[in-house]
Amino acid sequence: MWSVAESWYFPHALPAQWGMKYWSQVFSPYSDVSGSLLTSIGVALLTVAVCLAVAVPAGYALSRRGMPLRFFFMLLFLIPQAFPGLTVYMNVARLFYEWGLNGTVTGVVLVHSVHGMMYAIWISVAAFSSVDPLLARAARNLGASATYTFFRIVLPQAAPGIIAASIFVFLESLDEFTGAFFVGAPDISTLPLLLYNASMSGNYQISSITALILLVPSVVFMLVVNKFMRPEMLSKLGK
């Protein structure tokens, strides 16, 4: 309701004046929203690329039950979720300041990648675990190389799960606030940071519109995930 309220004061239960004035402000060429949205999308896409570069080979390796220390490596990627984000990011910001990564896109992407790696690894492991091993074995018996078998037989079967992992990482990065606040602000302005600044300054219309903008990709991509997350793959999560 705040997104379409031009004036709303106590003790009125409903807005005193309705309108789309603040929507036009948000999408005007002079607004910070469009720039922050592009920054958020760019950071999220880079985060997905970094996570997949690690998750695809790691997921393929960890899907093999005979891998030594498999349980330890699976547990290792859960560690970032085991501690309060605020304390972790404060120490990360201190280290990044020493390394010259504070206030850079690279620093924000690295923080988001560490946070999103858990989704990428665990879902990729489940995706590769759901692949029928007999197909890969048949391809090797017919003379296919290991590289050919992976890219033409195994990877296409795991692709729906990898797409789902990419979506989860993208949404996690798009909505992530704490890491971007401690590592990126004020040089890197993402949409969650803009929402925070607008709400703290009492500009509820702008913050509500920004929240709705962040909500749209979450709803759309969750419908896509619902299509790609097959029951046989879900049964492999954590195994």
Residue 148 in tokens: 């050919």
Cis bond leading into 11, ω under 30°?
yes
pTM of the model: 0.82
Category of 143 on φ-ψ map: left (φ > 0), alpha (ψ -120 to 50) or beta: left
Q: pLDDT tens-digit profile of 143-197?
A: 888 888 888 888 888 888 888 889 889 988 988 888 888 888 778 888 888 888 8
Q: Does the structure show a pLDDT above 50 at 109?
A: yes
Per-residue pLDDT band for 45 (boundaries 50, 70, 90) equals very high
Mean pLDDT value of segment 221-234: 64
List all residues 6 or more positions away from 92 whose beta carbon is below 8 Å from its beta carbon. 111, 179, 182, 183
Per-residue pLDDT band for 14 (boundaries 50, 70, 90) equals confident
Q: Does the structure show a pLDDT above 80 at 8?
A: no
Break the chain into its structural domains and give their ranges: 33-190
Span 33-190 CATH architecture: Orthogonal Bundle (1.10)
∠ CA 186-220-199 to the nearest 5 degrees? 35
Residue type, 46: L
Stronger pLDDT, 238 or 179, i.e. the higher one: 179
Lowest mean pLDDT among 27-36, 83-92, 167-176, 177-186: 27-36
Cβ count near 193 (within 10 Å): 20
Q: Does the structure show a pLDDT above 80 at 128?
A: yes
Q: Does the structure show a pLDDT above 60 at 85?
A: yes
Lowest mean pLDDT among 14-28, 113-127, 140-154: 14-28
Rounded-to-integer distance, Cα 101 and Cα 213, Å: 28
Lowest mean pLDDT among 14-18, 117-121, 131-135: 14-18
Mean pLDDT value of segment 17-26: 78
